[in-house]
A and B are shown apart, each in its own frame.
Chain A
């Protein structure tokens, strides 16, 4: 699609926008529209947000003259903010994902615009300590980190500098040995912050923002294979989520922005993209967040042309239902969320929305499901689960439970959350509770920490309980 065609497609939405996009003052029908709440203003606008295994949120800034070497801990219950240990360098524009043991792996960072650091580190949330990992082959500014089925971490892309461009060498951080393995047979030019997902066959699929869809075999020295091409074209600053095992929603992005969305099912013998219903508003710089009931919440972004058009913020949230593949417009946020905004699912089922350049005031979105009756409760959730393990939870609401989901904890920046993914688990009701079956393998649920939710027949989720999936040993107080 040419920019001209894209603009023509977006024109109806642009014309309707003045009617649609002003912040909605009414918060009346919360059970239908959800509700936004303004939170306590932060000392900076966060650019990188992470839900730690302890249920609190780690944030750090960047841009606007502020170094990223300033992580803070935000408590969702109290909104209190506290200092954290510093990495000792600027982790703005880094890539990150959680490892199997709950440590946050951070690759690259900021030297100058377009000039990336070769450094990598691990943040241990139990010890509140940063541990240096070996340097990468070269700098990476805007890389993507993906936790693999075996708990290692793949790093791709990221800019070296303005004379070489992006780092074409994929590398795997081998968590067990704290060493790098170069995928030197798989050198490839990728866009900044490419959208990567572990597919059910264990390969890592790149779905954007470039339309070419490829799968990377990370064994040995690596190998790419071609899958196909997405339909819209280049979705710069769009977003993507794996909303079910092997199923990916690709939405928004481009310039001028698009409202289109498309899906692919990687479990099919010949996966191919197909269009699904578009959002009501074209958006780029948006965030897409998986919710406990299996729906996808889209927030923020801008509908006007240009890199970061501040005059056209998209305030309404929209909800995509994967069962019907339709969108529902929800309540409008107050604060524009554009470039450098982020959104993440909290254990209590709300969505924290932060940042955007110059926007230090976060908001929390309470989806409609929080206004639809009593929430299921559960207890006795194991802290650790093995693959394929049958485990029991106690709940007096067993008869009303219709769905059990696992959502991987968030690590998000620049409109893409490489860490989140959702698994729907099989379960049976038992006396006083449920027997649930954990995901079968790391291919469908890479090892690490997840939020476990029970969802009742009204779509109301429990509070998420954090569980560790896989065989990794838990972190201890002593930093390793």
Chain B
């Protein structure tokens, strides 16, 4: 990442494709707000091909476009080091060496990015290169200028961090995929994603994870937020269970499309 990118950020596209678990949504800027203009149901990004992409292409304007993928195909790791080298190459080497200890596959097949969270902690994100190439080729073939490939969980974290009151963790639910993202003083310290078959699985996994975090990270958890499509989750059950753990919900409006860059 260059200095300009680090300090000034990336150019925001005028329209976004959100690739969820079972739907693909298209968002456009209408009257200054990102508004969903189309939903293609029962379509996963992995199933996209020249044929079914036409439906999406018809909706997209010939402007710069971004795609936000849910965390299904991303691998997150948070590493802690006593000391990180200042030199970028040496720093990457030491992080990838550490990653190699916990990640069984060949790292070269993945696009690996890392972000320094503080002096000691690093967030590492892996994304399969072949998948990235497939997406870029698909958009390129359809003459759509793709300038942004992002991740929904990271965008939610960025958007929630801007708020005055932020929760100790958020639960991102997209159909059968759930991500629990724990943070302390806006610094992520634990991320877990898991598959859910039924609502009881979700609550059970959330509670297990909360206990794990309390025991292994010695963090007090007092608040949480849920980021999901209303149809995906019955938040009342989660609220009831977590209230017994003395964890209160900080309600956030899911109309704000928190999974998109702002």
Query: Does chain A bind chain B?
Result: no
